Chain A
């Protein structure tokens, strides 16, 4: 199970559909608060794909909170731009990060790797 959080609703839906088409079951949330609630309610995800820049709880903040709630969870950040070396502190905290617009095959590859590990 994959958790996808992005405030861009159509983007999130499209991405979720494409992941589903590739056999990856995806739950979509449009805000960090809702996603956090679901996890705190006991829902388990192997991998969380989080947009960094969101209104309300930012991706980085959400990642920390989700980690607390579910230490097993692995994270992938989606960023408009940036890298581990020169971007905001926090990106390196995730297992991996991808820049938008993304390549679906690369995302699937990363998810599979994280799920297997």
Chain B
């Protein structure tokens, strides 16, 4: 069988990722990051249970620039994973597979996660 110069299925190293693809893998990456971030949740809660000194230490760490960086990444990951998760639930119900809808949903998910992240840091 002659195959000629047929286009091959995506070689990940040479393939320009469309936004939809990037957003799909970002869902998984933010999911893993949030699972790792559960360490921070458990640490913060445990520090409250241990007492005022432990809580003061936790507050100092989380209030440092590195702590704030972790918290900012955590909130951004949370709201992205949540917004894109709603999209997954819509897919489960059979909606949103058409290309124009998909392109629109990219923007809605990115916009919603950005707005929620900014809002939560305005409250803080």
Do these two chains interact? no
User: Contact residues of B with A, CB < 8 Å?
Assistant: none
Chain A contacts to B: CB under 8 angstroms: none
